[in-house]
């Protein structure tokens, strides 16, 4: 007689692990019974009791049921919404530890996918103001009157976390958040609006808001009802020697305290290329295009968004730059054919067609690839999608003269990512690639 089969042993409701490190995606990594365990909001050295929420063959995803022992570098998050709000993942880490973890993650990824970089040391340039640095954000709107919610998506959810004040925003943008809330409470805003882009100019003390339309980045309508009286949605910001016009609906870097350094680093690297031509793909309103125009005899700024391309051309013209051609095109389709006549000096091509670049005229290219833009804050996929070039590229924040890579993280309290659920719009500057020799017969 066959003995009755024992029922499978039920998995424990919780188990205890030690967090070894933080990995791509911002999760803590530990191990349990031979499986990798990913747990958010943890610190290396934490001893935690984990409640599994997803079990796979080789890994487990879980949440912290109990913090048994805190690891070094853990701090009390200053925001009361941290852990529920999806805007931040790392407020519980002291900022120096954030920088070191980002450095290790970046170093591991580059050393794995670019073996020749293993002799290079990656240095981090910290933000002088880890909180109160954001000058733009996307606010989610739900409800009216006393039921109004204005804030950001909750962590891994499309539910809205109601936020009255965000410690990442500059004070001027907190005023914008309060004004948007007031207009939603008294019913003066459009009931069909579910999200607004807000941005400000600390230089001028002004802010603007634009209703975000679902479906496309380029489809926005003005939302003047919530803007301060007499304020125009066109904002201005000065970075270095250039002044930029932008609107809340177009992309502009959000960290005012790192823009100068970003432009300075890119300009310094560009000087190594000599007097040649360059292409700035996904150029936005020309943040890097304008300073690079000082370093190159010609630069082509490529941007698919019609409003951003128009503003880039206007910014170049206002700066008196005659060697800038602004092209409205899909940069991901850049091919190895000639683009036609010489630069159109402040004019833009408005057909939105795929771009073709002449590789013979671009020995030094700062390229923001489609992979780098769409996943600009997700280092792992960006590094996996290695450009198809015979001459293997080197990251642009690697100086070939001193062989010391320098990375300037623009979003403190977060591991940069773009997963469709992040509350803030992701950084689109992406990865800049330095080609040390002419690209002949290959896509830019």
Are both 26 and 105 inside the same structural domain?
no
Predicted confidence at residue 277, as pLDDT, reads 83
Question: 365 lies in a domain?
Answer: yes
Are both 211 and 317 inside the same structural domain?
no
Continuous segment of H or E residues that includes residue 140? strand 136-142
Q: What is the pLDDT of residues 29-43, one digit of tens each?
A: 999 999 999 999 999
| Secondary structure (H, E, C), 154-173 | ECCCCCEEECCCCCCECHHH
Cα(119)–Cα(130) distance, integer angstroms: 30
Are both 411 and 280 inside the same structural domain?
yes
Q: What is the pLDDT of residues 417-431, one digit of tens each?
A: 433 222 222 222 333
Question: 158 lies in a domain?
Answer: yes
| Range name among 4-18, 267-281, 350-364 with the lowest pLDDT average | 350-364
Are both 208 and 168 inside the same structural domain?
yes
Q: What is the pLDDT of residues 138-174, one digit of tens each?
A: 999 998 888 899 999 999 899 999 999 999 999 999 9
CATH number of the CATH domain containing 44: 2.40.50.140
Higher pLDDT, 431 or 2: 2
Among 176, 210, 239, the domain-final residue is 239
Higher pLDDT, 115 or 134: 134
| CA angle in degrees (0–180, nearest 5) for 387-393-397 | 115
Predicted confidence at residue 265, as pLDDT, reads 84
- 3-state DSSP percent of the chain in helix, strand and coil, to 5: 20, 25, 50
- The answer, yes or no, to whether residue 399 has pLDDT greater than 50, is no
Among 177, 211, 239, the domain-final residue is 239
Are both 153 and 273 inside the same structural domain?
no
Predicted confidence at residue 238, as pLDDT, reads 93
Please give the residue range of the domain that contains residue 117. Answer: 95-129+256-434
Higher pLDDT, 116 or 424: 116
| pLDDT (mean) for 239-248 | 94
Continuous segment of H or E residues that includes residue 263? helix 256-270
Are both 420 and 306 inside the same structural domain?
yes
Question: 244 lies in a domain?
Answer: no
* Residue in 198, 188, 243, 251 with CA at minimum distance from that of residue 222: 198
- The answer, yes or no, to whether residue 326 has pLDDT greater than 90, is yes
Predicted confidence at residue 365, as pLDDT, reads 36
CATH number of the CATH domain containing 268: 3.40.50
| pLDDT (mean) for 231-253 | 87
Collapsing DSSP to helix, strand or coil, 241 comes out as coil
Predicted confidence at residue 176, as pLDDT, reads 94
CATH number of the CATH domain containing 176: 2.40.50.1070
Question: 415 lies in a domain?
Answer: yes
pLDDT above 90 covers a percentage of the chain that reads 43
Question: 205 lies in a domain?
Answer: yes
Judge whether 165 and 99 are in contact, CB under 8 Å.
no
Collapsing DSSP to helix, strand or coil, 142 comes out as strand
Higher pLDDT, 50 or 339: 50
Cα(90)–Cα(165) distance, integer angstroms: 18
Question: 2 lies in a domain?
Answer: no
Predicted confidence at residue 4, as pLDDT, reads 66
Predicted confidence at residue 7, as pLDDT, reads 61
DSSP string, 177-188: HHHHHHHHHTT-
Are both 318 and 416 inside the same structural domain?
yes
For all residues of the chain together, what is the average pLDDT? 74
What are the helix (H) ranges across 50-198? 95-113, 171-185
Are both 208 and 103 inside the same structural domain?
no
Are both 419 and 276 inside the same structural domain?
yes
Tally Cβ neighbours within 10 Å of residue 390: 9
pTM score of the predicted model: 0.74
Question: 155 lies in a domain?
Answer: yes
Predicted confidence at residue 26, as pLDDT, reads 85
Categorize the per-residue pLDDT at 83 as very low, low, confident or very high, splitting at 50, 70 and 90.
Answer: very high
Cα(51)–Cα(207) distance, integer angstroms: 43
| Range name among 78-92, 221-235, 327-341, 383-397 with the lowest pLDDT average | 383-397
| pLDDT (mean) for 313-318 | 96
Q: What is the pLDDT of residues 271-280, one digit of tens each?
A: 766 667 888 8
Question: Which residues have a Cβ under 8 Å from the Cβ of 312 and sit 6 or more positions away?
Answer: 283, 284, 285, 286, 289, 301, 303, 326, 348
User: Judging by beta carbons within 10 Å of its beta carbon (0-12, 13-18, 19+), is residue 36 exposed, middle or buried?
Assistant: middle
Q: How many domains, in total, are found in the chain?
A: 3
Collapsing DSSP to helix, strand or coil, 63 comes out as strand
Categorize the per-residue pLDDT at 125 as very low, low, confident or very high, splitting at 50, 70 and 90.
Answer: confident
Are both 144 and 110 inside the same structural domain?
no
Are both 219 and 363 inside the same structural domain?
no
Q: What is the pLDDT of residues 300-312, one digit of tens each?
A: 999 998 999 999 9
| CA angle in degrees (0–180, nearest 5) for 85-218-283 | 90
Q: In the chain, how many H helices and how many E strands?
A: 7, 24
| pLDDT (mean) for 57-62 | 94
Are both 169 and 116 inside the same structural domain?
no
Predicted confidence at residue 407, as pLDDT, reads 54
Higher pLDDT, 83 or 376: 83
Among 239, 272, 299, the domain-final residue is 239
Question: 439 lies in a domain?
Answer: no
Categorize the per-residue pLDDT at 244 as very low, low, confident or very high, splitting at 50, 70 and 90.
Answer: very high
């Amino acid at each position: 007689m066959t003995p009755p089969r024992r029922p499978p042993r039920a998995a424990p409701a919780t188990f205890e692990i030690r967090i070894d490190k933080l990995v791509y995606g911002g999760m803590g990594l530990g191990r349990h019974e031979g499986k990798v365990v990913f747990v958010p909001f943890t610190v290396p050295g934490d001893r935690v009791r984990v409640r599994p929420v997803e079990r796979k063959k080789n890994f487990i995803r879980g949440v912290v049921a109990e913090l048994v022992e805190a690891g070094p570098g853990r701090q009390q998050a200053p925001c009361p919404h941290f852990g529920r709000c999806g805007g931040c993942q790392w407020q519980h880490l002291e900022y120096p530890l954030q920088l070191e973890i980002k450095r290790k993650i970046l170093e591991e990824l580059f050393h794995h996918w670019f073996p020749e970089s293993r002799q290079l040391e990656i240095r981090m340039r910290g933000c002088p103001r880890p909180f109160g640095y954001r000058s733009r954000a996307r606010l989610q709107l739900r409800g009216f009157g006393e039921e109004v919610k204005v804030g950001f998506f909750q962590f891994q959810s499309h539910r809205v976390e109601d936020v009255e004040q965000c410690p990442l925003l500059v004070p001027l943008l907190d005023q914008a958040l309060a004004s948007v809330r007031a207009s939603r409470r008294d019913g003066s805003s459009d009931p069909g609006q579910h999200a607004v882009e807000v941005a400000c100019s600390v230089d001028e003390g002004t802010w603007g808001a634009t209703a975000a339309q679902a479906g496309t980045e380029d489809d926005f309508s003005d939302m003047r009802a919530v803007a301060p009286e007499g304020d125009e949605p066109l904002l201005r910001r000065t970075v270095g020697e250039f002044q930029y016009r932008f609107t809340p609906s177009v992309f502009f870097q959000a960290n005012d305290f790192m823009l100068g350094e970003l432009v300075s680093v890119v300009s310094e690297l560009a000087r190594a290329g000599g007097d040649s031509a360059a292409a700035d793909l996904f150029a936005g309103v020309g943040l890097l295009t304008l300073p690079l125009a000082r370093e190159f005899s010609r630069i082509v700024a490529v941007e698919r968004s019609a409003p951003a391309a128009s503003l880039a051309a206007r910014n170049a013209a206002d700066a008196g730059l005659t060697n800038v051609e602004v092209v409205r095109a899909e940069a991901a389709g850049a091919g190895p054919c000639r683009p036609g006549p010489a630069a159109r000096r402040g004019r833009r091509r408005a057909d939105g067609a795929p771009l073709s670049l002449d590789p013979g005229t671009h020995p030094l290219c700062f390229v923001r690839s489609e992979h780098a833009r769409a996943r600009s804050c997700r280092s792992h996929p960006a590094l996996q999608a290695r450009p198809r070039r015979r001459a293997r590229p080197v990251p642009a924040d690697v100086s070939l003269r001193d062989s010391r890579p320098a990375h300037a993280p623009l979003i403190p309290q977060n591991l940069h990512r773009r997963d469709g659920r992040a509350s803030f719009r992701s950084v689109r500057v992406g990865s800049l690639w330095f080609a040390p020799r002419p690209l002949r017969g290959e896509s830019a």
